[in-house]
């Protein structure tokens, strides 16, 4: 039984390493810079925790990474732009976002980065309208889950989180 536990533990640890190795070099550097306590791992081990998109509207691709705390399994989001690192969610004990840290515990593997020009595609209400109304300075991070969706974007001043269902 002890051998089985050790084997499972090694395989779980190896999955995290594989997940991080699948990240491009820029994303791996982003994760290292954002992980002040050394306790973050990628949300999945298959590389689907990383996307590129122009989040801040400067015309350059930014690394967007879904993470979770290895200690508490709380989830979070890291966005590394050319000039700053955005951190949001329960995986970060100290965060300066405009929404409550716990609000990101809905993060799922069903997500996408929507380019700025396609903001109308992120529909969060039953009438088929997007409450974003072009407030986004760059790409929108859209999450889809049973019964609804959520969008995170930068409005030039702060991170914004909108829910819909």
Domain map (residue ranges) of the chain: 2-164
Per-residue pLDDT of the chain (165 residues; tens, 9 = 90+): 544 343 333 333 333 333 454 788 899 899 888 887 788 888 876 668 899 999 999 999 999 999 888 887 778 889 999 988 888 887 776 655 545 556 676 677 788 999 988 887 776 666 666 677 778 899 999 988 887 788 889 988 888 888 776
Query: Does residue 41 contact residue 78 with C-beta atoms inside 8 Å?
Result: no
- Report residue 150: phi and psi, to 5°: -145, 155
The beta-carbon contacts of 100-108 under 8 Å, at least 24 apart in sequence, are 103/161, 104/75, 104/76, 104/77, 104/161, 105/74, 105/75, 106/143, 106/145, 106/150, 107/43, 107/66, 107/75, 107/76, 107/77, 107/143, 108/143, 108/144, 108/145
The string over 104-129, giving b where at least 16 C-beta atoms fall within 10 Å of a residue's C-beta and e elsewhere, is beebeeebebbebeebeebbbeeeee
The rounded distance, in Å, linking the Cα atoms of 81 and 61 is 8
* Chain CA centroid to CA 94, Å: 16
């Amino acid at each position: 039984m002890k051998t089985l536990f050790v084997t499972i533990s090694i395989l779980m640890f190896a999955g995290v390493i594989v997940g991080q190795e699948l990240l491009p070099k820029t994303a791996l550097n982003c994760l290292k810079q954002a992980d002040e306590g050394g306790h973050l791992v990628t949300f999945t081990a298959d590389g689907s925790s990383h996307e590129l998109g122009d989040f801040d509207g400067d015309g350059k691709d930014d690394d967007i990474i879904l993470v979770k705390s290895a200690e508490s399994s709380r989830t979070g989001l890291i966005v590394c732009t050319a000039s700053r690192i955005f951190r949001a969610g329960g995986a970060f004990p100290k965060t300066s976002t405009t929404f409550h840290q716990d609000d990101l515990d809905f993060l799922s593997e069903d997500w996408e980065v929507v380019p700025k020009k396609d903001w109308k595609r992120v529909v969060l209400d039953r009438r088929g309208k997007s409450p974003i109304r072009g407030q986004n300075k760059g790409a929108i991070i859209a999450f889809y889950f049973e019964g609804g969706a959520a969008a995170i974007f930068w409005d030039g001043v702060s991170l914004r989180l909108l829910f819909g269902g």
